[in-house]
Structure 1
Amino acid sequence: MESKVSNTGNMNYPRTENSSVTINNVDLKLLRVFKCVVEAGGLTSASHELNIGLAAISKQVSDLEIRLGMTLCSRGREGFELTEYGITVYQATLELFASLNIFRERLHNSRSELLGDLSISVVDNTISDPLSPVTKAVQQLHLAAPKVNIRLQTAHLDDIEKGLNEGRFNCAIAPVYEEKGEFDYYPVYTETSKLYCSSEHPLFILPDSDMTLEQLKQQKIINHTYVSHRHGNKFFAFNESNIQAVQVEAVAMLILTGHFIGYLPAHYAARYLNEKRIRAIGPEAINVSTPFCLIIKKGRKINQIIKLFMDSLGIA
């Protein structure tokens, strides 16, 4: 037998302006599910993360909509999208759980036990960098506070900044091409990128001593659209290139075709370098150094958990 909730879909629920909302344990459970759905980008992804069925998640979101008397999201064939009410409820949910965490921290800190949540976002394709202290820092954090709930997610820089502003991430570790006023930055390490060609490219067999800067400028350069316009390298006219890629892996694929040259982080390129499938070309002067920082939304309270993570990263 289907419940009233299972057929609600994207209905508009009746609301009264003077009605008050009380929060009980069931509501907290529904809000946690709704929060997970929003952060996962939809019901299907959330069902995998929560390890419960899609129909059960859909029913719980509908239950919350009935409970609050408002439509929180559209979730039909056109995809998942929050309504204005949904955005408001999500932001209020973040504030509610943040307050609950503060309450929980105060109770348990009196017993010298650190509890709470830490949501960290890290820019993708950095795990191979030996200079990155992220893995070691998370390891130390867990050893020091094993009951802290750690959520680690990789993302593009634009998504990271958006998540920090929305409160989905407590902090992030990402490259900084320009500092923005809404964030605080704490230097962690520096990533080096070099110019590469593949073993099938004509420059591969050319000795460094015979390679000129003018020759490099004449090659077809890959415009890594996510990075090229940010890192300040004016040697190449990236914007004039019709060869484009978004992810680091896509840049590597294009380099391996033998038709193009492009920049890769040195740590990422090491595997292909060892296999002699690519080589670094050009003088050190055209290498690109990018600072990586711990980024926190300006004005956000640095609680004991974030402070412990900063200590693990070596940030004073």
Structure 2
Amino acid sequence: MKARSDELQIFVCVIECGSISAAAEQVGQTPSAVSRTLSRLEAKLDTTLINRTTRRMDLTEEGKYFFEQAKRILDQMEELEERLSSRQQTPSGRLRINAASPFMLHAIVPHIDEFRRLYPDIQLELNSNDLIIDLLEQSTDIAIRIGTLADSTLHARSLGCSPLRILASPAYLKQHGTPKAVTDLVAHTLIGFTQHESLNHWPLQHAHGDRWQIQPAISASSGDTVRLLALAGQGICCLSHFMTIDDIRAGRLVVLLDKANTGYRQPINAVYYRNSQLALRIQCFLDFIQGKLADYASSDFRG
């Protein structure tokens, strides 16, 4: 006998949920029924997919391979059904998006209301993670990452780029003065990052090059923490325009040394696993957010 799609769905659900009981609740069956489905599937395939004990479940090597293929098959089936349903008239279904916290908070969340008005049948699941994730393990459709991508087997789509700005609050500048030249920064309190040393190389032209390496007096792991420190008047920072555009417009942060800025823009990419044409709901979101990023990139503020 051949495996059925409903058996594949239950198997994938068990792996994604992490337990038979959690999967049973999600699919509306009893744990014993789910367990029987797994046993029936293993019998059909004549192999063990999951090593199960009373405390944990572990995928066998065959199980890992089968999970990847089953997930791909189910995704293709879902995409086919979506595209054939009423000739693609309405994008629908669950859309799982992962992005670094600053991008999620400043470039996605503010536009969710508009997106949901445009596509009311798409169910959004938003997750934040500042680290590179395994899309398969995290059950993610799209991961949005800022900066140059490492070589990867994932597909990537460029969504645009975002300028980096040197910024400080009016309160800080009133107390400590405004730097007029890049070399003036050595006399100021600088806010940097604890991770990713490249973030402490600011895109400023000076006598010895076009990257100014700072020695931060205050360091943080999160861009949002750096932003809040700058807003509180604690020092000068370098942040992406997408997360500070509203602060600049409102006068909460002031752009500094803009003439010395090299104009470097951080690339923003969406990465995904699909090998075929993108599902309609994914395509709609990427087109939507790309338009919003184009608005950010076209905004120009001079210090």
Interval of TM-score (by shorter of Structure 1 and Structure 2): 0.5 to 0.7
Amino acid in the other structure paired with 1:237: Q
User: What is the CA-CA distance between 1:283 and the residue it aligns to?
Assistant: 0.4
Question: Structure 1 residue 264 and structure 2 residue 239: aligned?
Answer: yes
1:73/1:86 contact within 8 Å kept: no
Partner residue in 2 for 1:302: 278
Question: Structure 1 residue 30 and structure 2 residue 10: aligned?
Answer: yes
Aligned residues with identical type, % of pairs: 15
Question: Structure 1 residue 236 and structure 2 residue 212: aligned?
Answer: yes
Relative to 1, partners in 2 of residues 1:309 and 1:207: Cα closer, same or farther, differing over 3 Å?
A: same
Relative to 1, partners in 2 of residues 1:252 and 1:149: Cα closer, same or farther, differing over 3 Å?
A: closer
Partner residue in 1 for 2:142: 171
SS in 2 for 1:302: coil
Distance in 2 between the 1:230 and 1:34 partners? Answer: 43
Partner residue in 2 for 1:7: none
Distance in 2 between the 1:294 and 1:51 partners? Answer: 32
SS in 2 for 1:225: coil
Amino acid in the other structure paired with 1:195: I
Report matched runs for 1:14-93 at 5 Å: 22-23=3-4, 25=6, 27-28=7-8, 30-37=10-17, 52=25, 66-67=39-40, 68=42, 69-71=48-50, 84-93=61-70
1:183/1:297 contact within 8 Å kept: yes
Q: How many corresponding residue pairs?
A: 274
Distance in 2 between the 1:261 and 1:75 partners? Answer: 55
Relative to 1, partners in 2 of residues 1:58 and 1:263: Cα closer, same or farther, differing over 3 Å?
A: farther
Distance in 2 between the 1:309 and 1:275 partners? Answer: 28
User: What is the CA-CA distance between 1:216 and the residue it aligns to?
Assistant: 0.9
User: What is the CA-CA distance between 1:263 and the residue it aligns to?
Assistant: 2.4
TM-score, structure 2 as length reference: 0.61
Amino acid in the other structure paired with 2:16: C
User: What is the CA-CA distance between 1:97 and the residue it aligns to?
Assistant: 1.3
TM-score, structure 1 as length reference: 0.59
Partner residue in 1 for 2:175: 205
Structure 1: where are the runs of 5+ without partners? 1-19
Structure 2: where are the runs of 5+ without partners? 43-47, 204-209, 292-303
User: What is the CA-CA distance between 1:178 and the residue it aligns to?
Assistant: 4.5
Report matched runs for 1:89-168 at 5 Å: 89-105=66-82, 107-109=84-86, 116-126=93-103, 129=106, 135=112, 138-139=115-116, 142-143=119-120, 146=121, 148-156=122-130, 158-159=132-133, 162-163=134-135, 168=139
Amino acid in the other structure paired with 1:301: Q
Distance in 2 between the 1:216 and 1:243 partners? Answer: 14
